[in-house]
Structure 1
Amino acid sequence: MLIDDLNNASLARPFETFGLQKNPEGQNGFFLRTWLPGAISVDVKSIDGKKKLGTMARVEEDGLFELNFPNADKEFNYLFDVQYQDSKIQVIDPYQFRNEAYAGLSTMRNEAANLYRTMGAQLVEIEVEGVKIKGVRFAVYAPSASNVSVIGDFNFWDGRRHPMQRSLMGEWVLFVPGLGEGERYKYELKDPFGNRLPHKADPVGFYAEQYPSFASVVYDQTRYKWNDAAWVESQKNDKLKQAISIYELHFASWKRHENGDSLSYREMADELIPYVKEMGYTHIELLPIMEHPFSGSWGYQPVGLFSPTSRFGTADDFKYFVDQCHQNGIGVILDWVPAHFPSDSHGLARFDGTPLYEYEDPRRGWHPDWNSYIYDFGRDTVRQFLVASALVWLDYYHVDGLRVDAVASMLYWDYSRKAGEWVPNVDGGNHNYEAISLLRWFNEEVYKNYPQCMTIAEESTAFAGVSRPTYTGGLGFGFKWNMGWMHDTIEYMKKDPIYRKYHHSEMTFSMIYAYDENFILSISHDEVVHGKLSMLYKMPGDEWQQAANLRAYMGYMYAHPGKKLNFMGTEFAQTAEWNHDSQLQWWLLQFDKHKGQKKLIQDLNAMYKSEPALYNADYDKSGFMWLDHSDYQNSIFALMRRDANGENPIIVVSNFTPTTHEQYRLGVPTTGKYKVILNTDSKYYWGSDYDLGGLEFEASDVSWHGQYHSIVLNLPPLATVFIKRIGD
């Protein structure tokens, strides 16, 4: 019976039951039916409220009302005056708006971006019979659900009151007049067998509450007015030839209030932006800012891929933060996680009672490393969902780039799995062709629609062509983190200097493959957690030697081809491992050692941005030359960088032992005067300020290091020195 279906929230096609329906064949006109639990009486009025059209008959005590209009020759719009026990309200019946509920669904499938412009909770305004009606159009994809209702404060979280209509393609839709921004809502779904599922947050929701409700919130994406047009225009350049120095940070633990609370988006705009400008970074990179239920995941277990987390404020507040970054010349990169998602009951897991977003086979659909689900990269609806979730950040939130986390885990079926725990591809191999195809499409969509932005892969294997165009068979990323360089060089630096000569190649090996990809040299958050020690305490020796080693290493990093990334805290030599539950050790900056490290990073960034030789030929073999990579006995490395025109060389020499070297001869390309432009051993950085034999040197005609000319200087201990030709 109908009343049983209504009371059990089991009505799948309410448009065929509610609203105006044609009278049975042989009868003229229409009849009107509505379901208003708890109502005593219902009057029908014209949509402008000026004319009473009749009083409905209550045909069921539970709230089912009907009224016949035998003389009506066409459908018309209307509203209800509803009398309850202690109140009277006016209601515009959502079930008269069939076409409005379906609006946009046909175009959604034509372009990924249409998904976030159509699905979820969209604020709309319609006009009928001269009356403008504002409301929210809800649309959620749940093809295997037997019933779906939208629930919220507006209907007492009662799944009986607003059943949604199922489309032929599996979306459930309903336009609810009278709702606006700020309304809390979720979806109540029943699985294919009619079993009620845990209430689900909106997969395409733009804003959400925190624990315990995890409710989605209707949000107006059009309200915020941006002021970053000049920045966006300035970014239409070749990123490969741009100076990019990235400050990676975790929003909640960069700095906190005295009571331990995190700073808000707007407070971070006030605090972080001046600091990043002072330090000279070109970009910040945020660990995932997308909504996630567990803070201890650092954001890498997201459930709201379309919404900035409400931990730090509203979505408009996040837009303000990005806008302020741009107005101050700072780019914003976000970590984006399509590799896996958590099993929280309000999220995507078994969304409609079936594996809608995840692979069904746990050998493909469950991540042993993170105890989380894996997206079904071969399903078209999932692919649309993921690419849309990437594009929304470039579109609505104006971010400048996306770093894709855990790409290696997507590329290989046997990633972190033993024999028998994975299923080969159709060719019997371990490559996930579906994930490869998705990543290529993602990159094509980003660069087609937002060519001023960049994509970055965290990919830890030797998979070929990660940062090569898709038309050549590559994955299409703009950049790739150089995990090999990071691992090798840190392992080298951890060695006592007396043993480094046996590991000399660990510092040079990266140049063998340096031009295989567009690399970013990354010292990320993963290197300072889980017992790996801080960057300072990875270094051997006493207090001074630890700091000197770190300074020399940072100098070597800025000399090496590739864009730069450092995690927060390294810039002032934090002593503790990163702890996501507390702020950085800002108190260390009262000590000269940490002030010195901070000053060094400022000066390295300033030099890096001012010397094109250090960045605009990063991916051109002509931009780099070893002067001496074989002096393993002394652990000395000498190299030369040139700009894209093969000019303006910068000579760099690193000494990774505490031993000084008097009268060290260094090859240079031409005659003239050469000047030290940065020395990590300077007293300004808490170095020994060892006498180099001057700050300017005249080149002689003595050939050295494969060059026709050379200069002679004293090499300081545990230091990297940058030298530039300044004239004849």
Structure 2
Amino acid sequence: MKQKGTVRDADKTGFSLPVDEAEAIASGAHADPFSVLGLQDHQKGMIARAFIPGADAVQVLTLVGEPVGQLEQGAVAGLFEGRVNLKQRQPLRYSATNATGAWQIGDPYSFGPVLGPMDDYFIAEGSHLRLFDKLGAHPITHEGVEGVHFAVWAPNARRVSVVGDFNDWDGRRHVMRKRSDVGIWEIFAPDVKPGTAYKFEIIGPDGQKLPLKADPYARRAEFRPATASIVAAGLDHEWGDQAHRDHWSKVDPRRQPMSVYEVHPGSWRRHDDGSFFSWDQMAAELIPYCVEMGFTHIEFLPVSEHPYDPSWGYQTTGLYAPSARFGEPAGFARLVDGAHQVGVGVILDWVPAHFPTDAHGLSNFDGTALYEHADPRQGFHPDWNTAIYNFGRREVVSFLVNNALFWAEAYHVDGLRVDAVASMLYLDYSRKEGEWIPNKDGGRENLEAVNFLREMNKAVYATHPGIVTIAEESTSWPKVSAPVHEGGLGFGFKWNMGFMHDTLSYMSRDPIHRKHHHDDLTFGLLYAFSENFVLPLSHDEVVHGKGSLLTKMPGDEWQKFANLRAYYGFMWGYPGKKLLFMGQEFAQRGEWSEARQLDWDHLDDPRHHGMQNLVRDLNKLYARLPALHARDCEPEGFEWLIADDSANSVFAWARHAPGEMPVVVISNFTPNVHTSYLVPMPAGGTWREIFNSDATIYGGSGKGNMGEVTTRLEDGRTVAELTLPPLATLMLTPG
């Protein structure tokens, strides 16, 4: 009598799997289940093996349902094996039964691989620019069968399985095939459909099972606090934005108007019950609002999946998945398309600098420091308690470069604003002596990160004409926005953090003291054209106790509003593209919180409504007048008229563009009305007052110049005698 668990009589069957191998299959520890499961050649015939826990009997079927064999119980529970009446390899199905019923399942081990040798070659080389089509979860038809191809990079794992409802989250059922040359595991799972939740079960090199991991390339994720990835169907979106894309592919963005509305999608608006707007609901209100307000672009704080709301999206665990907070990915595609069809671009904040250490994310992904550095002096960010990508690893660089390309291709985004570039460029960023490791030359520059940024920018600009990349970089690193072939980092633009710091420092002072800090507003012109700058008044300036822009302004209520109106006029007349964080266009009083919507009820107050009207009019003037935008990044577009009147805190300059009428901008940052104030003018004649931040429609006192002034010659120069309203900015153009 046979003992339980012994090898079957080889003379009787000739194909029984030895006990040790059978037990390895049943425990999920077999090194190569594809070599024993599925359809196998055996003694001039074929056999089939399947591991189906819970089954009592298993019949083998072809795809058309023809029975071709009955399997017998193998050496361990759940393992079935037997001869089949087939002469060539083909996909199989199994009809399994037990006391409770019958069910059919496709056999993943009867299918060949999906990835090929050319994929291996380009992946190993680090030059594959379609990784997002190869890794992750992709519904496909493979060998005539519909299902999902799963692939994940985990080179140091002993075993990787994909688990989900389709296999009862049992890591023994879909153990993946390892492509040993590149460390990628893959499997085709028949019958799995879009919408299915899944994760990867990974056994690390030490034999320990890791927490289940979300898919780094997942295009959709569960809504927090759930953390599984979801098989995403193709977007199947019929785009209608060709005219928009054609326009931006043919122009120089440095010479186009760019006024960016920075938006946190979770708190721009919410439903009355506090729930999030969907992408479609957001599109229905946000896009018309931006058109009415004259913004040329929407810049979203990171939309990639992230587990923790107060991170604002900057600690992402799913770089390829639009957040489930706002619905399915197709909704985001519709939002971008809708914006494009009315001429509004969409920029995404993108976070390649660091990632959170949540157990389901990239940290210690295959049981080793795979995406990050193992040494915390290189791989851990003390400011944010996050991991730092290992930019010296070509697979990590490929992961990030492909992600940038993915957003441009799949969702047609117009730009990527790259977060925290300074933290990437310097090995000693926010670290004390002894807490960082110098580069190979003994310096503090992160040469590998520099190379990554250059490679990313080259790939994006080469493959997607019309896109822009924008660096949030707060140091004096040279040539951030210069082409790579000129020794630059290759970005299209750089945030002008110095402008934001200096001007807000100046504006927060009592006007009586501003004359002692006049250089705060003139100094920026010394470097204004060293980079292609965006002038940001971003979310960072209205959080963490800093208050809103309105509350930064000195004086009584009237003066606060007047200061902010004058400041906006100054900024929109200053060289550089514009960015304003949501809520600041109507002078929200409270500090921004991601947990609630903006204070839209402020607009019932004429002062706030006037501020909104002012920003709208500034945007439309900026877009309509080439002198205000066409040479934002070039010194010939700017001419000082008055730079040294510190006693009166008055500044005046002219903006120019070839073949266009100039615009003169004058700011008076004291509450005094200056009458008969002489301003040198770039040309004689009548000049119209096209903007006055003190106009009554904006909430001002109505002081001004009755719509126009006429120049005269005085002491050999052309001047205009103006009334400068209190705490106000004027703009004038030739009559």
Q: What is the TM-score of this pair, normalised by structure 2?
A: 0.95
Counterparts of 1:316 and 1:368 in 2: how far apart (Å)? 36
Counterparts of 2:439 and 2:415 in 1: how far apart (Å)? 31
Contact 1:113 1:392 in 2 (8 A): no
2:720 to 703, 711, 714: 711
Could you tell me which amino acid in structure 1 is paired with residue 179 of structure 2?
S
Match of 1:3 in 2: 22
Match of 2:39 in 1: 20
Match of 1:194 in 2: 207
Match of 1:80 in 2: 94
More displaced, 473-482 or 59-68?
59-68
More displaced, 227-236 or 468-477?
227-236
Match of 1:58 in 2: 73
Contact 1:15 1:98 in 2 (8 A): no
Counterparts of 2:580 and 2:164 in 1: how far apart (Å)? 44
1:484 to 498, 501, 507: 498
More displaced, 207-216 or 595-604?
207-216
Counterparts of 1:555 and 1:501 in 2: how far apart (Å)? 19
Counterparts of 1:175 and 1:399 in 2: how far apart (Å)? 31
Could you tell me which amino acid in structure 1 is paired with residue 75 of structure 2?
E
Rate the CA distance shift 1:225–1:691 in 2: closer, same or farther, 3 A: closer
Counterparts of 1:457 and 1:410 in 2: how far apart (Å)? 11
User: Which digits, 9 at most, give the CA deviation of each residue in 1:555-587, with x for residues without a partner?
Assistant: 000111000000011100111110111111111
Match of 2:197 in 1: 184
SS at match of 1:346: coil
Contact 1:699 1:710 in 2 (8 A): yes
Counterparts of 1:703 and 1:161 in 2: how far apart (Å)? 91
Deviation at 1:61? 4.7
Deviation at 1:102? 5.3
Deviation at 1:301? 0.1
Match of 1:722 in 2: 731
Deviation at 1:72? 5.9
Could you tell me which amino acid in structure 2 is paired with residue 59 of structure 1?
G
**1:241-640 matched pairs, under 5 angstroms:** 241-640=255-654
Deviation at 1:7? 2.9
Contact 1:121 1:205 in 2 (8 A): yes
Contact 2:119 2:128 in 1 (8 A): no
Q: CA RMSD in A?
A: 1.4
1:206 to 209, 219, 230: 219
Counterparts of 2:117 and 2:583 in 1: how far apart (Å)? 50
2:163 is the alignment partner of 1:148: no
Match of 1:36 in 2: 52
Could you tell me which amino acid in structure 2 is paired with residue 150 of structure 1?
V
Deviation at 1:8? 2.2
User: Which digits, 9 at most, give the CA deviation of each residue in 1:577-629, with x for residues without a partner?
Assistant: 10111111111111111011001001000110110000001122111000010
Match of 1:670 in 2: 683
Contact 2:37 2:50 in 1 (8 A): yes
Rate the CA distance shift 1:296–1:104 in 2: closer, same or farther, 3 A: farther
SS at match of 1:98: coil
Contact 2:68 2:86 in 1 (8 A): no
SS at match of 1:402: strand
Deviation at 1:262? 1.8
Deviation at 1:20? 2.1
Counterparts of 1:439 and 1:95 in 2: how far apart (Å)? 41
The unaligned stretches of length 5 or more in structure 1 are none
Contact 2:61 2:95 in 1 (8 A): yes
Could you tell me which amino acid in structure 1 is paired with residue 348 of structure 2?
L
Deviation at 1:104? 7.0
Counterparts of 1:635 and 1:91 in 2: how far apart (Å)? 79
More displaced, 463-472 or 51-60?
51-60
SS at match of 2:114: helix
Contact 1:108 1:114 in 2 (8 A): no
Could you tell me which amino acid in structure 1 is paired with residue 598 of structure 2?
L
Counterparts of 1:114 and 1:357 in 2: how far apart (Å)? 19
Contact 1:150 1:188 in 2 (8 A): yes
Contact 2:642 2:679 in 1 (8 A): no
SS at match of 2:714: coil
Match of 1:223 in 2: 236
Rate the CA distance shift 1:81–1:560 in 2: closer, same or farther, 3 A: same
Could you tell me which amino acid in structure 2 is paired with residue 644 of structure 1?
P
Counterparts of 2:366 and 2:704 in 1: how far apart (Å)? 71
Deviation at 1:231? 1.6
Contact 2:69 2:83 in 1 (8 A): no
Deviation at 1:124? 0.8
Contact 1:290 1:302 in 2 (8 A): yes
Deviation at 1:222? 4.1
% of aligned pairs identical? 48
Counterparts of 1:66 and 1:595 in 2: how far apart (Å)? 76
Deviation at 1:666? 1.2
Counterparts of 1:98 and 1:289 in 2: how far apart (Å)? 36
Q: What is the TM-score of this pair, normalised by structure 1?
A: 0.96
1:679 to 669, 688, 692: 692
Contact 1:104 1:118 in 2 (8 A): no
User: Which digits, 9 at most, give the CA deviation of each residue in 1:350-371, with x for residues without a partner?
Assistant: 0001000001110010000000
User: Which digits, 9 at most, give the CA deviation of each residue in 1:620-679, with x for residues without a partner?
Assistant: 21110000101111100010000134x411011100001111101111122221110000
Contact 2:351 2:418 in 1 (8 A): yes
Could you tell me which amino acid in structure 1 is paired with residue 371 of structure 2?
Y
Contact 1:82 1:89 in 2 (8 A): yes
Rate the CA distance shift 1:420–1:499 in 2: closer, same or farther, 3 A: same
Counterparts of 2:473 and 2:375 in 1: how far apart (Å)? 25
Deviation at 1:337? 0.2
Could you tell me which amino acid in structure 2 is paired with residue 696 of structure 1?
E
More displaced, 27-36 or 599-608?
27-36
Counterparts of 1:103 and 1:277 in 2: how far apart (Å)? 49
Contact 2:26 2:76 in 1 (8 A): no
Could you tell me which amino acid in structure 2 is paired with residue 663 of structure 1?
S
Counterparts of 1:378 and 1:101 in 2: how far apart (Å)? 25
User: Which digits, 9 at most, give the CA deviation of each residue in 1:222-275, with x for residues without a partner?
Assistant: 422222222211222110110000000111111111111121111101111111
Could you tell me which amino acid in structure 1 is paired with residue 162 of structure 2?
V
2:666 to 638, 641, 653: 653
Deviation at 1:167? 0.9
Deviation at 1:46? 2.6
SS at match of 2:712: coil
Match of 2:703 in 1: 690
Deviation at 1:381? 0.4
User: Which digits, 9 at most, give the CA deviation of each residue in 1:387-427, with x for residues without a partner?
Assistant: 11111111111111000000000000000001111110011
User: Which digits, 9 at most, give the CA deviation of each residue in 1:454-489, with x for residues without a partner?
Assistant: 000000000000000000110000000000011001
User: Which digits, 9 at most, give the CA deviation of each residue in 1:14-42, with x for residues without a partner?
Assistant: 1112122233xxx3233221111111111
Could you tell me which amino acid in structure 1 is paired with residue 152 of structure 2?
V
Deviation at 1:112? 4.1
User: Which digits, 9 at most, give the CA deviation of each residue in 1:152-189, with x for residues without a partner?
Assistant: 01011111111111111211110011112111110000
The unaligned stretches of length 5 or more in structure 2 are 1-19
